[in-house]
């Protein structure tokens, strides 16, 4: 079974789209880690409804001008890194896709940025007919679209661009030769972008269907049926892994539905939340137990990295992501490790919340833990959300500890497979980088590797 899983993951990981995406995230990694700290800082100290802002009574400790300056700077950094993430994603995705095929990568990246700004949601309210840039499309929450645009531009350069070898020193005439050689793929890419943009404008097509996103989130928030909640939560988490994080974020933040209000009123009236009318609301299960407000998977992954991995870079990323992860800031680790679009981690990303929701729902049904219904302030550490959301239930705190330990044990075998696959990929990368093998030779090695895995598995099965 493990050999088959390794085979599938290795084949997925070797797809050009995933290879280019991993390299894109690696290049943006330092900025993502910095942005994650600013997100954490803003979330726990600058927000008026945050836990630490109120506990420390910061509004009386510092003058208002200090918070205004801090919010101005923090908001600027967060927007520059995560608000415009799609621009960087498109550039590097096109760059590395073209570079894999030995094409002119930098011009591919610039072309991808122009294509992203051409392909945007229409806005007919503008008098001059020019629609403003869709900033939501450029944010990290919608990065899959910009990554895909960058990938398509890279593929255009693959088929229409000339082979390009990177030189240590380029003179003006060399640069002009590059520019003229790239005219055909640049024009073709922009022509395709213009056609798509015209189609979007004439038919008023939305690049990203916000109604669908809202529907998924609303169903999770308001449904009390596990048969509905669990598949939708897994869908939202899978979309988040793809780089479409809006449904999951809306589901975790949605606590204002009628059912949630009924639960809260019942708890206030009866002094506890053990017998609230709606025990399995998706919003409560997802935030409190399923994801621990985003900390369940990230904390377990960080622990697995620190316990198992000998790679210094991975350990450094894990250590730098500890505090943001505890406070539910996922973007730093998601980009820096990366978790986003990493086929080696898609299974634990889905399995951990599924196990947490099933176990916590069973515990609620057996009256082992109360339902989390009380409001939780922003910036509350994810592992404390069930405790605070149940008004200080030690049973909920114990369940959280059990779930975190279980999550670590769940992710460890997957992470060992991840390390084995990454080690083999690094060896093949080294061969290709040293010109021992070509791109076609790389594909041949992967195919032989998979064949050998099948033979080994067959021999073991017959013993």
Contacts 24+ apart (CB under 8 A), 52-58: 52/379, 53/379, 54/377
Structural domain containing residue 404: 210-421
Hey, CA dihedral for 343, 345, 348, 349, is it positive or negative? negative
pLDDT digits (tens, 9 = 90+) for 5-20: 777 777 787 889 999 9
From CA 436, how far away is CA 440, in angstroms rounded? 12
Regarding whether 99 and 164 lie in a shared domain, the answer is yes
Residue 38 maps to a domain: no
| 113 C-beta neighbours (distance < 10 Å), count | 19
Q: Are 363 and 399 in contact (CB under 8 A)?
A: yes
Instruction: Name 238's Cβ contacts closer than 8 Å, sequence gap at least 6.
Output: 346, 349, 350
Total domains in the chain come to: 2
| 175 C-beta neighbours (distance < 10 Å), count | 10
Residue 441's pLDDT is 62
From CA 267, how far away is CA 373, in angstroms rounded? 8
Residue 155 maps to a domain: yes
- Rounded (to 5) percent helix, strand, coil in the chain: 75, 0, 25
Residue 53 maps to a domain: no
Instruction: Name 80's Cβ contacts closer than 8 Å, sequence gap at least 6.
Output: none
Question: Shortest CA distance to 252 belongs to which of 240, 242, 268, 261?
Answer: 240
Instruction: Name 219's Cβ contacts closer than 8 Å, sequence gap at least 6.
Output: 228, 232, 282
Residue 457's pLDDT is 40
State the residue for tokens 């800031």.
329
3-state secondary structure of 255: coil
Question: Pick from 182, 203, 224: which residue ends a domain?
Answer: 203
Helices (H), 254-311: 258-270, 282-284, 295-308
Regarding whether 403 and 309 lie in a shared domain, the answer is yes
Q: Please report which confidence band the pLDDT of residue 433 belongs to, taking 50, 70 and 90 as the band edges.
A: low
Residue 248's pLDDT is 80
Regarding whether 233 and 172 lie in a shared domain, the answer is no
Enter the tokens of residue 177.
Answer: 């030769």
Regarding whether 230 and 151 lie in a shared domain, the answer is no
Regarding whether 99 and 199 lie in a shared domain, the answer is yes
Question: Shortest CA distance to 188 belongs to which of 103, 111, 100, 106?
Answer: 111
Q: Find out whether the peptide bond into 10 is cis, omega within 30 degrees of 0.
A: no
Regarding whether 410 and 285 lie in a shared domain, the answer is yes
Residue 48 maps to a domain: no
pLDDT at residue 167 tops 90: no
Over the chain, what is the mean pLDDT? 85
Q: Please report which confidence band the pLDDT of residue 69 belongs to, taking 50, 70 and 90 as the band edges.
A: very high
State the residue for tokens 């570079």.
99
- Mean pLDDT of the region 371-397: 90
pLDDT digits (tens, 9 = 90+) for 72-82: 999 999 999 99
Residue 393 maps to a domain: yes
Regarding whether 219 and 198 lie in a shared domain, the answer is no
| Stretch among 38-47, 375-384, 445-454 having the lowest mean pLDDT | 445-454
Question: Shortest CA distance to 140 belongs to which of 84, 57, 199?
Answer: 84
Question: Shortest CA distance to 10 belongs to which of 448, 339, 455, 459?
Answer: 448
State the residue for tokens 């919010």.
71
Question: Pick from 179, 203, 227: which residue ends a domain?
Answer: 203
Enter the tokens of residue 251.
Answer: 């589901």
Residue 122's pLDDT is 61
Enter the tokens of residue 213.
Answer: 């996103």
Regarding whether 180 and 289 lie in a shared domain, the answer is no
Enter the tokens of residue 334.
Answer: 């998601």
Q: Are 144 and 244 in contact (CB under 8 A)?
A: yes
Enter the tokens of residue 373.
Answer: 């219904």
327-263-265 Cα angle (round to 5) = 105
Regarding whether 245 and 341 lie in a shared domain, the answer is yes
From CA 310, how far away is CA 313, in angstroms rounded? 9
Residue 433 maps to a domain: no
From CA 413, how far away is CA 304, in angstroms rounded? 10
pLDDT digits (tens, 9 = 90+) for 207-261: 555 667 777 888 888 888 889 889 998 998 999 999 887 778 777 766 556 788 8
Helices (H), 62-142: 64-78, 85-100, 105-118, 135-138
Instruction: Name 136's Cβ contacts closer than 8 Å, sequence gap at least 6.
Output: 142, 208
Residue 19 maps to a domain: no
Question: Shortest CA distance to 189 belongs to which of 119, 86, 289, 264?
Answer: 119
Regarding whether 397 and 276 lie in a shared domain, the answer is yes
Pairwise pLDDT comparison (364 vs 425), residue with the higher score? 364
Question: Pick from 155, 182, 203: which residue ends a domain?
Answer: 203
Task: Count Cβ neighbours within 10 Å for each residue of 424-446 and write b for 16 or more, e otherwise.
Answer: bbeebeeeeeeeebeeeebeebb
From CA 299, how far away is CA 64, in angstroms rounded? 34
Q: Please report which confidence band the pLDDT of residue 434 belongs to, taking 50, 70 and 90 as the band edges.
A: low
Regarding whether 340 and 194 lie in a shared domain, the answer is no
pTM of the prediction? 0.86
Distance of CA 402 to the CA centre of its chain: 25
Regarding whether 190 and 227 lie in a shared domain, the answer is no
Instruction: Name 421's Cβ contacts closer than 8 Å, sequence gap at least 6.
Output: 6, 9, 10, 13, 344
Residue 44 maps to a domain: no
State the residue for tokens 């403003």.
132
Q: Are 382 and 292 in contact (CB under 8 A)?
A: yes
């Amino acid at each position: 079974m493990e050999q088959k899983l390794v085979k599938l993951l290795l084949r997925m990981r070797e797809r050009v789209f995933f290879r280019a995406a991993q390299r894109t995230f690696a290049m943006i990694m330092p900025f993502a880690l910095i942005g994650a700290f600013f997100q954490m800082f803003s979330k726990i100290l600058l927000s008026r409804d945050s836990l630490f802002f109120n506990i420390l009574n910061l509004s009386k400790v510092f003058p208002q001008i200090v918070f205004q300056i801090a919010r101005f700077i923090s908001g600027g950094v967060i927007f520059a890194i995560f608000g415009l993430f799609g621009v960087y994603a498109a550039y590097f995705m096109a760059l590395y896709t073209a570079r894999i095929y030995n094409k002119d990568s930098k011009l591919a990246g610039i072309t991808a940025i122009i294509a992203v700004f051409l392909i945007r949601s229409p806005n007919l309210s503008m008098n001059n007919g020019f629609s403003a840039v869709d900033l939501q499309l450029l944010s990290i929450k919608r990065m899959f679209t910009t990554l895909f645009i960058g990938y398509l531009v890279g593929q255009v350069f693959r088929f229409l661009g000339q082979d390009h070898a990177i030189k240590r020193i380029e003179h003006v005439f060399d640069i002009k030769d590059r520019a003229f050689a790239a005219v055909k793929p640049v024009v073709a890419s922009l022509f395709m972008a213009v056609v798509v943009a015209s189609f979007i404008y004439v038919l008023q097509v939305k690049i990203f269907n916000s109604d669908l996103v809202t529907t998924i989130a609303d169903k999770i928030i308001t449904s009390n049926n596990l048969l509905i909640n669990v598949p939708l939560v897994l869908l939202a988490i899978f979309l988040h892994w793809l780089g479409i994080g809006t449904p999951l974020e809306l589901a975790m933040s949605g606590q204002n539905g009628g059912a949630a209000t009924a639960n809260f009123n019942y708890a206030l009236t009866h002094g506890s939340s053990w017998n609230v009318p709606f025990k399995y609301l998706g919003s409560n299960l997802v935030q409190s137990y399923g994801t621990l407000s985003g900390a369940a998977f990230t904390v377990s992954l960080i622990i697995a990295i620190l316990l198992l991995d000998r790679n210094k870079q991975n350990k450094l990323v894990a250590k730098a992501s500890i505090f943001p992860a505890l406070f539910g800031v996922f973007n730093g680790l998601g980009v820096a490790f990366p978790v986003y679009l990493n086929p080696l981690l898609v299974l634990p990303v889905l399995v951990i919340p599924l196990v947490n929701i099933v176990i916590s729902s069973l515990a609620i049904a057996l009256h082992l833990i109360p339902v989390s219904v009380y409001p939780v302030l922003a910036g509350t550490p994810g592992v404390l959300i069930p405790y605070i959301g149940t008004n200080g239930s030690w049973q909920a705190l114990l369940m959280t500890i059990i779930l975190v330990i279980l999550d670590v044990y769940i992710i460890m075998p997957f992470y060992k497979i991840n390390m084995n696959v990454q080690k083999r990929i690094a060896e093949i990368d080294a061969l290709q980088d040293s010109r021992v093998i070509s791109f076609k030779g790389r594909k041949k090695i992967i195919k032989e590797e998979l064949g050998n895995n099948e033979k080994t598995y067959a021999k073991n099965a017959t013993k």
